[in-house]
Structure 1
Amino acid sequence: MTKIIQKVNAVKMEPPRKRKVAAYARISIEKGRTPHSLSAQISYYSKFIQGNADWEYAGVYADKAVSGLTTDRPEFQRMLSDARDGKIDIILTKSISRFARNTVDLLETVRELKDLGIEVRFQKEKIHTLSEDGELMLSLLASFAQEESRSISENVKWGIRKNFQKGIGNSFHIYGYRWTGKEFVIVEEEAKIVRLIYDNYLKGISAEKTEKQLEEMGVKSYTGGHFGNNSIRQILKQERYTGNTLFQKTYIEDGKTKYNNGELPQYYARNTHPVIISEETFNKVQEIRQKKRELGAFANPHIKTSALTSKIKCTHCNRSFQRAGKKNKTGHTRCWMCATRKAGQGNPCGTGDINEEQLKKIISEVLDIDEFDDEVFLEKVDHIDVTGKDHLEFFMTDGSLIHRTYASTARKDAWTPEYKERYKRIKRSKDTNGLKNPATPYTGFIRCARCGNSFSGQRRTLKDGTTEYYLRCRTKISECPSNTIQESTLNALVCDVLDLDEYSEEAMDKAMDYCEIADNTVSFHFRDGHFEERQYEEKKRGTPWSKERRKKALKGMKEYWSDPEHRKEASDRMKKIRKEKKWSSQ
């Protein structure tokens, strides 16, 4: 009996792909949370993920001291970005409240991840978002978490306000003091710096100069970093250095800190801690600060001011227009622009630049004077409101209001006859001096033998996709019917005249002064005074018409002109052209 042996090819089994697992951790800004809690979460998740043989560790994303009411968290956003890039399959998190406290944000984020095939596992609630009942349970529990967060927030705020009424604060970090757990004590080394800052200000020394002085002294800020001028200005308005405390200067709304401008009550408590700056010194500094705010730019002797300084107001952002220098074709000019725009914050107000010379002309017209006068302007104009890109409102000192429209003529004014001539000379030479269109090898080299104008380079793309460069006279073809020449043809003629193997711009410029072109003739004028002529012919580009194409075109023209309306339309058009150009009918 014959044995039959069948050969079977073994199939190589691929091991299952490990799922990329990451974790998200967060500690909030609530009282009692510590950085140790965050590091403990990171350590736990790192070990937990790496201890699973079926998982690939994709990292732990952790936000420190941020609210869960918003998704605008650096690490949270980085995690979502990596998830979109396919770097994560599963996200682990302790609970719903750690992931997000806002129900809408939570569901939107989970649904986006679900569409990407990414599962979020909430360990405390035992919810897996890719399961059938995952989203329903998540919606219910997220609502409870959001309400719990709101309730806790209201309770915390109530407790803080009660403490404010008793003279107990909730901020324990201030340069010059240290909190012992029961009271503030003075740190004398820092207190000396606070007194130096106040003393400098009373002597007229700016915050910027004090900043440099502290840097030279090696003084660091409360956090150990650079002592900036903004920190110095904050110290100058900090009432706590007088031993008194103004509570609830700021408040938190929608997770953002805002200044309290009367939205909530404030509480002023006296003698809450030791004194570093006397109330008399503090009040003097506040008086000077207030005067400087009222004076604006005039308070700083280093700022160049004019009669227009602080007089032009933007009605959209309530800031003044500031003077700025602009470079145009004729040199530098002065203009005025909204402070918001000048600060590089875009142009949300929609106002434009106002040329200073043109503004002075408008002011002279409003005041009915021959030319702008500082004293007359300051005497008769209280301020000018800019309400749009082209509208000015003059508020006069006598109480009257005058409206004026503004249209910039700065660009037009810059094109003086002198500049036009200079621009032409630059365009005709290879020294384009940074103009938009760079020079070509033949810039300023070719002249028209008919009209004397220069040639300009142009480019056209042929049907086969290749690009062809050619040169033609700048004068209108109706006024000077000069022929064109391809750049490659002229290159070949230069090589022939100079006996070169290949074209060289340097050799051409060294030997020749210019060339003239007309009637398919190029006349090369050398620097030594002699000239040489060369004839050239170029094939006309285009596809020749076949007999069928000519026949079809002729048929179409006959059909078109057999229509009486078309003939009448053409006749009327020619009559109009003759009339406009004053052609004679005879």
Structure 2
Amino acid sequence: MARTANRYLKAQPPTARSKEIFLAGNYLRLSVDSDYTGSDSLENQRKLAKEYAEKNKDVSIVKEYIDDGKSGTSFDRPAFTRMIDDLKRKEINCVIVKDLSRFGREYIEAGNYIEKVFPFLGVRFISIVDRYDSCDAGCDKELLLISLKNLMHEMYARDISKKVGSTFQIKQEKRMFYRSSTIPYGYKMDESNENYCIDEPAAEIVRQIFKRYRQGMSQYELCRQLYQNNVLTPSQYRQTGRIFKSPEDTLKIWQSSTINRILKNPVYMGDVLRHKTQQSFCEGKKSAKVPDEEQILLTGNHSPIVDKDTFLSVQNRLAQIKEEFAAYRMHSDVIAKSKVFEADVLENKVFCGSCKAVMVRAVEYRKVNEKTEQYKVYRCSTHRKISDCCDSRYIEEQALCEILYCTIQEQLLLIKGLKKQIENDVQFSFEGKLRHIEHEKQRITNRKALLEQEYLEQYARYTEGRLTVDEFQEFRKTYTGQKKSCDMQAKELETEETKIRKKRTSIKKMFSAWMALDGETRLTEAMVHCCIERVEVFQDKRIDIRLSYQDCFAMLEKWTEGGK
């Protein structure tokens, strides 16, 4: 394996790069159908990137993003999304992948990222096996080849999808066990890697969850107890291999949804439920739930963690609680429902100002003229799980939406008031700055040409013996310093030019997007998606709103205050 990796690295042609150190994110992906030990294994991808960084001193790997068991036919992957967010926040400015198939197998979207998105963000993209580096000017000629490769990768993915789908279907019809992408908490693969066997440390946690829920403890109380006992969540356990928190771990709060999935999963009494969802990459169909009667249950597949009586008793309690809640909702005396949207359009946009956790939409009740009214609020998710970890702050959905609407209207007034100036004066200002930068770049180019000419003249004098070694060395030292200064000024001008062009493009986009919302009489879903980036709610009723294109608004406000 090492010889293969070294072959790819040695085959790269030497290129002259700047001394800038790129902060790289190493992106690794393993498909659901990939083998876990072959050339595409996570370990091999990690090793290849590490060896590349060791040989190229201008690249430093600072973060790693892993999508384990994720298909390359879609870019809707958790780790990939986090990587793009980090690129936008400038936490990294380089992406390394083993090859383009690890990056993605959907050729149109992959080409869009490589040829448009990454250059726009100023991101360096490196595909080791394909010997592609966006910082190498010679690689631009290979973009067509890259597109063709991505097309072949997509065709390959569709072909594999058909074959893998057929294999799974045959195994389901024969009621054969096959490994899922994620092994259930409490189990691990046996030595032959063919079936589940009990992972005793995690299995003991599962037994306690079933035991205490059967005894009457609620799911929220179980989350609190697991957190107080320093038990790592299943995802943390998969990453660290530790059941309990160690000094280097950041303890996360267990989710009630995680407890609920454990309690409902028949895998813990030795059965495996298969064919729960169905999708087709080759036909472009997304994952959809399969009706209960069409799902396949493999009974007695492996050793159980809890006995059948315990599992069925827990299912009875879950069903009873569900029925009681449904009956309560049916016979409640709620006469009115106060809500702004049917769906939670502010999902993952409202955060607690203290613990920075997302605030979740919840139902509350109040008395209005001696009758009950139902309304929606946003509460800190940390407090809902573990009340000691944060306070009980909340904000009513209707009040929050009114504040957001007024804030958006205020910015719209600013845009409308500056419409002609934005279209004329601001545009003229940008063009003036770009002309000035172009003039300065030409001045530096001329200066470098004069320096070069002077260097040649002094070198000729030195070779003719009219200049001593010490005199020529002193001149060369001065020449080198002046040339370096010119190069630095040229680089600063290029950076400034890129920033100005980006600002001009952002203002055009902002103006077009926001003006399309003019005339709305209330907050709409389109306004939320277009205008709101993040909202933080504080205990003292203060609200911090970050709008989309906020940098553009700040620039416009500064521009109007300065009168230029």
Larger RCO, structures 1/2 (Cα 8 Å, 6+ apart): 2
TM range (shorter): 0.3 to 0.5
More strand, by proportion? 1
* Bigger Rg, structure 1 or 2: 1
User: Please, what TM-score do these two structures have when normalized by structure 2?
Assistant: 0.45
